[in-house]
Amino acid sequence: DTAVSQTPKYLVTQMGNDKSIKCEQNLGHDTMYWYKQDSKKFLKIMFSYNNKELIINETVPNRFSPKSPDKAHLNLHINSLELGDSAVYFCASSQILLGTGELFFGEGSRLTVL
Amino acid sequence: KNQVEQSPQSLIILEGKNCTLQCNYTVSPFSNLRWYKQDTGRGPVSLTIMTFSENTKSNGRYTATLDADTKQSSLHITASQLSDSASYICVVSAASVTSGTYKYIFGTGTRLKVLA
């Protein structure tokens, strides 16, 4: 059973479109994250949710809107896609309260904006 | 400013050889340090965790060290295999009980290529 699963794995779309990436974790963790990995392979935090509440919102354009319907899900919606949004987006989860804090990552969603 | 720097940026070695990757950090308040391995097209996976009081820890052919005084960590890979080809990312956690925050500070990674 996959611990952190995200869909779709690949996404190719035109500039200006709106797209969503879904993420689910079955580890019972209290915190979920979205990271962006650019062409230089650096992982940059975008958002963090703890028990469905937003706790980290880095300087990400407001075209990106995370939604956490429950503790196990954190979806990422992107409006008006731009060329610079092309990257691999990783969902992750960890247990912060009384946990190890180890990050568990999904397999990534490669977004290509044409 | 919290920062994690890794060196070298990339490394090519022959199968069977050993190598050592470096991680220097300036993170406060320090909670722990983890090394992650990221295979091409996959998400990062934790290899080992080092807390403040630990100097060395092994996970198979991987051995991590931590010097909390100099704020340096290393990941030593023994008898490298082709499957060790990956990016290795050093991640330092900063936890503050007073402010109730927990942050991960990522290094830029070292890309290791093992050749037959």
Residue A54 has a pLDDT of 82
Phi-psi region of B84 (alpha: psi -120 to 50; beta: other; left: phi over 0): alpha
A90 touches chain B (CB under 8 A): yes
DSSP 3-state of A29: coil
- Verify whether the Cβ–Cβ distance A107 to B42 is below 8 Å: yes
Condensed to tens digits (0 to 9), the pLDDT of residues A52-108 reads: 788 777 778 899 999 999 999 999 999 999 999 999 999 999 998 888 889 999 999
* CA–CA separation, A75 and A68 (whole Å): 6
* CA–CA separation, B109 and B116 (whole Å): 23
Nearest chain B residue to A108 by CA distance is B43
* CA–CA separation, A36 and A47 (whole Å): 10
